[in-house]
Amino acid sequence: MITKEIREQFPILGQEVNGKPLTYLDSAATSQKPISVIETLAHYYKNDNSNVHRGVHTLGTRATDGYEGSREKVRRFINASSTEEVIFVRGTTTAINTVASSYGRANIGEGDEIVITPMEHHSNIIPWQQLAKETGATLKYIPLQADGTISLSDVENTITAHTKIVSVMYVSNVLGTINPIKDITEIAHRNDAVMMVDGAQAAPHMKVDVQELDCDFFAFSAHKMCGPTGIGVLYGKKQLLDKMEPVEFGGEMIDFVGLYDSTWKELPWKFEGGTPIIAGAIGLGAAIDFLEQIGLDEIEKIEHELVEYAMERMSTIEGLTIFGPRNRAGLVTFNLDDVHPHDVATVLDTEGIAVRAGHHCAQPLMKWLDVTATARASFYLYNTKDDVDALIEGLKTTKEYFGHVF
């Protein structure tokens, strides 16, 4: 599919905002949805809506087949070895909290270490902070290099025989850094630690193979990859998940319930207490179909060309600072002179351009960058060079608008 054809699949992109054609550059926050995903959700509610794993009636079977069919699509998408290793959760945040609460509480104690990095999203910091506080474990950070990358010698020096869990983002939502997850996993395993990967900014944009990475846990959210909100995935290796306790108890996740004791269903259902996010999971399956039809390699290529072009054009704007390494995923975080990033985003919005401004749920990273906030333009498969050109014009307008201040 050429970009024009891809764009036509996204009805929302055809509108005007503030009298200008919409330029959507906030896909790292959430992606837009193609018509196939929107129609899959509508079709499900119009035709098949029912609860799963219970009734013998036809609608119940259709809903269950759709829900479990999506699990198989996810398994294939990340190359998990079995659907038992694919747990549907609310999103990346819930996936990480599940591992911290279940695996963490059972396996971490005083004197143990949890290793993360200062570039993590809050959802990959706070669950570990809480776990460290509860258990008396130590939270350690792999330091960042000046360009916002991680060096493997620092990883070697930070992970020790006391480390029990290492949790690192694959791709930074602020710097665009692509972390060497396979190497970090190897170092974690050499020290008998388990490796958790926050894949929220990776799974939508590049081919992920959890067996190749050899990570123990991998988390991602459907809404950042053309799917609906409210659904995401926790991948975990079967031998670890088998030994872990559920974190939510109730319907759907039980085998036998007595007055004083109960037993759980087998994997993956023991982690899916309550009526699951059925339509969401089916919508995620449709999103995977869509992404695979275009091809993850192709998507990576589109984004790479866009980010290279954006970096080149943005570097010609005087007073514009770009944060993060040269080699990066499809996003550019920046500040313009001394204009507050919220003001930059507000002026850009008047031009129909949607960018994110703020701390991007990465306050420790903002401190490391020595800024309070930044603006961020993030690309996805439906963006074009015209979007980058609109951003450049918008930034010039912003400079003119605030020109009198300086």
Per CB under 6 A, which region of 52-60, 204-212, 258-266, 355-363 contacts ligand 7TS? 355-363
Distance in Å from the first CA to the final CA of the chain: 46
Per CB under 6 A, which region of 142-150, 193-201, 271-279, 307-315 contacts ligand 7TS? 193-201
CA distance 163 to 147: 26
Residue 92 interacting with ligand 7TS (CB under 6 A): yes
Return the H-helix or E-strand segment holding 194: strand 194-198
Q: How is residue 246 written in tokens?
A: 């559920």
Binding mask 265-304 for ligand 7TS (x = CB under 6 A): ----------------------------------------
For 48-106, the three-class secondary structure string (H helix, E strand, C coil) is HCCCCCCCCCHHHHHHHHHHHHHHHHHHHHHCCCCHHHEEEECCHHHHHHHHHHHHHHH
Residue 201 interacting with ligand 7TS (CB under 6 A): yes
Residue 169 interacting with ligand 7TS (CB under 6 A): yes
Residue 198 interacting with ligand 7TS (CB under 6 A): yes
- Candidates 100, 331, 361, 362; catalytic one: 361
Residue 29 interacting with ligand 7TS (CB under 6 A): yes
Asked whether the beta carbons of 193 and 369 are under 8 A apart, the reply is no
Cα distances from 201 to residues 80, 220, 271, in angstroms, run 19, 8, 24
Judged by CB under 6 A, the chain residues 132 through 151 that form the site for ligand 7TS are none
Q: How is residue 68 written in tokens?
A: 């479990």
Per CB under 6 A, which region of 117-125, 175-183, 253-261, 395-403 contacts ligand 7TS? 117-125
Please name the residues in contact with 88: beta carbons below 8 A apart, sequence gap of 6 or more: 67, 71, 231, 232, 233, 268, 272, 276, 277, 280, 281
Binding-residue total with ligand 7TS (CB under 6 A): 17
Q: Which is nearer to ligand 7TS, 63 or 150 (CB)?
A: 150
For 226, left (φ over 0), alpha (ψ -120 to 50), or beta?
A: left
Residue 200 interacting with ligand 7TS (CB under 6 A): yes
Answer yes or no: 226 catalytic.
no
Per CB under 6 A, which region of 105-113, 121-129, 259-267, 367-375 contacts ligand 7TS? 121-129
The helix/strand/coil state of 164 is strand
Q: Which is nearer to ligand 7TS, 63 or 369 (CB)?
A: 369
Residue 361 interacting with ligand 7TS (CB under 6 A): yes
Q: Out of 173, 333, 383, 384, name the contact with ligand 7TS by CB under 6 A.
A: 173
Residue 227 interacting with ligand 7TS (CB under 6 A): no
**Nearest-CA neighbor of 24 among 390, 312, 398?**
390
Catalytic residues: 361
Q: Interface with ligand 7TS by CB under 6 A: which residues?
A: 28-29, 91-93, 121, 123-124, 169, 173, 198, 200-201, 221, 356, 360-361
